Amino acid sequence: MRMLNVGIDDSATATQMSEGWAFILLPQSGVQQLQNEAAGLSATPFHASSSSKRNLAKYERFLTAVRNVVAKSEPHLLVHVFDDPSWHQGLGDIGKKLIEMGQAALKTDQIQVEPRVEEALKHMLPPLLSLQRISSHRGLQNDQVEVWLDESGKTRDFGSMRVGAGLSISAVGIAKSLYNAYRATNFPSSPEMVRNGLHVLPDSQSILIQAADVFGNFAAACAAWKLGATNIRQLRGEVFERVFGDQDLSQVLRSLSLQGDHLEVALRVPGGLKLEIS
């Protein structure tokens, strides 16, 4: 049984015409190698929103390190998922139903889930469920996983959230239980989450979240550039193409378009779309 590590970061266009997440999966040895590679680059920590024409060369070196480490690691996964609003809402609805099931079970022990914990769970369950879907065909059913998820306003301090008094239950424990329950029923060939296997942190504290952030942002920028966007998205897209230039994006691009005043990347038909690099 292998221990796998996953970094997840979310993405969205200006008015949420499309949303989604970027995922990177590595064994522990790959995480250590990526940390070593990044330590030699002066732009750390890497935040995609901080990339500009002035420092793009450092981000290109970081993406190159991500590409190389992923290629040398087994197992591995590097994927960006585009969701249209209806698909995103559908995942949210599934998450709500899981939370309701968990709440019903906890009420038998007279434990109430506070609104703050409930909102945090609603925010983080959709990317966790997407992780199961995209990893379910990788032969990882006998493996275990730890997940590093980028912190947001609703999930701030999630690691310290608890429900109940006295012998209280951690919110991380509830999330793990909901994840594994959904996996058992829907994606049993995806990896199982270990105890205390969910880490919700600022991206500056996780090289995996940083890798997911930069990869996802530059992948979306490349799609936008190929569809006609210019300026910083073109520059980031050109970097992505230089690093991952051997990838054929034609099938993905056929399902996307630029829409709205901000020329946002949007899906042509409702659903989800996977840009799988490795």
- How do beta strands 144-150 and 264-267 pair? unpaired
- 30: domain range? 3-276
Task: Beginning with the edge strand found earlier in the chain, give each strand of the sheet holding 3-12 in spatial order.
Answer: 192-201, 144-150, 3-12, 19-27, 77-83, 272-276
Q: What is the distance between the alpha carbons of residues 11 and 21, in angstroms, rounded to a whole number?
A: 6
User: How many CB atoms neighbour CB 56 within 10 A?
Assistant: 17
Query: 57-96 burial, b if ≥16 CB within 10 A, otherwise e?
Result: eebbbbbebbbebbeebebbbbbbbbbbeebbebbeeebe
Whether the CB-CB separation of 20 and 81 falls below 8 Å is answered with yes
The fraction of the chain above a pLDDT of 90, given in percent, is 45
Pick the more confident residue, 245 or 57: 57
What's the full length of the chain, in residues?
278
pTM: 0.91
Of 43-47, 63-67, 75-79, 227-231, the least confident: 43-47
Residue 95 CA to residue 122 CA, distance in Å, equals 6
> Helix, strand or coil for residue 147?
strand
pLDDT for residue 165 is more than 70: no
pLDDT of residue 169: 82
CB burial of residue 179 (10 Å; 0-12, 13-18, 19+): buried
CATH number at residue 15: 3.30.420.10
pLDDT at residue 32 above 90? yes
Give the SS3 label for residue 17: coil
Percentage of the chain modeled with pLDDT above 70: 90
The structural domain count of the chain equals 1
Those residues with Cβ within 8 angstroms of residue 1's Cβ, 6 or more apart along the chain or in another chain: 142, 143, 144
Give the burial class of 52: count Cβ atoms within 10 A of its Cβ; 0-12 exposed, 13-18 middle, 19 or more buried.
exposed
pLDDT at 167: 64
pLDDT in tens, 171-207: 888 889 889 999 999 999 999 999 889 999 999 999 9
Q: Which residues are 22's β-sheet partners?
A: 9, 80
Helices (H) and strands (E) counted in the chain, each on its own, are: 8, 10
Q: Where is pLDDT greater, at 209 or 173?
A: 209
pLDDT at 72: 96
Token pair belonging to 148: 């590093």
d(CA 190, CA 184): 9
Residue 124: per-residue pLDDT: 85
Q: pLDDT tens-digit profile of 86-132? A: 766 777 787 777 777 776 766 655 667 788 888 888 888 888 999 99
